[in-house]
Structure 1
């Protein structure tokens, strides 16, 4: 690596004098990257990128969290001037492809039943954004609102609650008949026999929250020879490349991903969301397609998990800890997304930096009829 440094924009460049890099970092000022472009407005975010001949996409959603889809009629929508495509799950390869970084549980469009408020059941592509919005309102969806649903930790743990996911998409999973996606167990020692002079027990909870980035989620796709090109505000472009290649059965080299500055992410833009849908729409129309979510749509696209955590901590009379007993339940939404990894990472360090001779941590990843987190 002598004489080479990696530039922020991705290229490896030699130092101007051709000499070795200085190791004197402590006490020096770090180079500020991107500041000038942001404050002058020169920074180009995805929503600023304009592709020629692009079609505008609008999603069709139901105003309920859980519904059985009976039929979808796009005839009236197709009559709107400028509309080029109305796509539903029935127009996709069958069975509808699913994707996800750890569990491939998320369909490109809702299949048979919506699992959370705002899950897309169809999408429209049109010459203008106004035409796409008008057509989306004209897509007629016949559906039956289903009673019940899982909207909290207690409901997710209740064996009488309806299942969020079909057990068929969780083969060889002993928990497939429950709303527990995964259980994590960490610890050492024996909490049950650890002596303690004082035990403090409390339950802490916090709700789902939105990441609320300044720049909205945005996606574009375009046919690219015998492959496809993707533009996304995603934080992990190589994961997107792999996901699209697998869904379209393409070599990685046939999927090009452009990931401009996301304009804030905070973890909410890590994982593919609607990029697979736009890829299929681009290939179906043979034209570039574009979707930039509104703020309301962003709220329906991704959240952080809600959590309830019970802590039992045993202390000895000299002030040292005798044990920590932790039960953490994370309500992650209808699909796994990246949430199960968050559950694991948030839980195995639950005891903090303290010396504790006996620890038991039980963390659950719970499915719910809410926005994936």
Structure 2
């Protein structure tokens, strides 16, 4: 598909009130069903192939293989012959010293790709290593130059940017889509562990999109990665950012759903019909969960993040309801306030750890979300009737 055809189709979608969806993949099966589900374009990224190998997206920027050769191989053999009438975008490593970009981008076009995207990107690399890359001439400007070359060759271009300066550079180079890259996708078993809140993601995207509007108001603006990994997350971003026109996802479309579905179906076969009544999928099949259960969301979040700082106001923002409404709903359903529930959960976890693990008491508090041991000890005694030291001593006496 030509650049103009792609742009016309995307603008038609936006005029109809639809959002633009791009799916980054490394497998034909994902490409096939993403198209069937209504994806507007497909990105062929090396991280997609690594995800199919059971590795995290981070593998895409590590020196395991030549990224461009990997993408050219699997995409030209597995994807282009399989899916038709949808733009297929080549994830180009523009800092590859083994490729002449003018020649290579022409080869990409001749192979049947509709455009390029700057991935893997050095924008993900900061600190001393990032500085060293820039000093050696292997910085982000090489990616800007690749977008410029592709634009001149009338290829469709999608630019991952990490700040306002990069957005301005990519717009000047002729990028057709500016995508605010929010970092490696969180969630699931292989996701990035660093917490980057939806509110912080929104603020970052706002700055980038304000620059876009100042320089080229009609530019298509999308987001990718970070904490935005579910339809609810994306809806939050749409509701709080009038400039956002769509979403690009990789892990969100193939890794995280695969982890959940394969794990759940394997468990279901393993138990031979004896299904866990608390399993979310069972509840859905039984018709119990007719709408989004905010209280269950809060309880599940506590269960997964009790060792970290948890702000109830943040949970209300993510659930897109008012803090007072969520607080009232939680207290009514659980029988106590959120703060009481959280402390009780943490103390139960601390007791469980003391029963299970040989651990120094000084190491226990941070494991359940307390940086101050004195405060932790005070709360433990309040809820368990003994100090942590006494509680551990009682366990040792019994054993």
Structure with the bigger RCO (C-alpha within 8 Å, sep 6+) is 1
Kindly indicate which of the two structures has a greater share of residues assigned to helix: 2
**Range class of TM-score, shorter chain:** under 0.3
Kindly indicate which of the two structures has a greater share of residues assigned to strand: 1
TM-score (norm 2): 0.23
TM-score (norm 1): 0.24
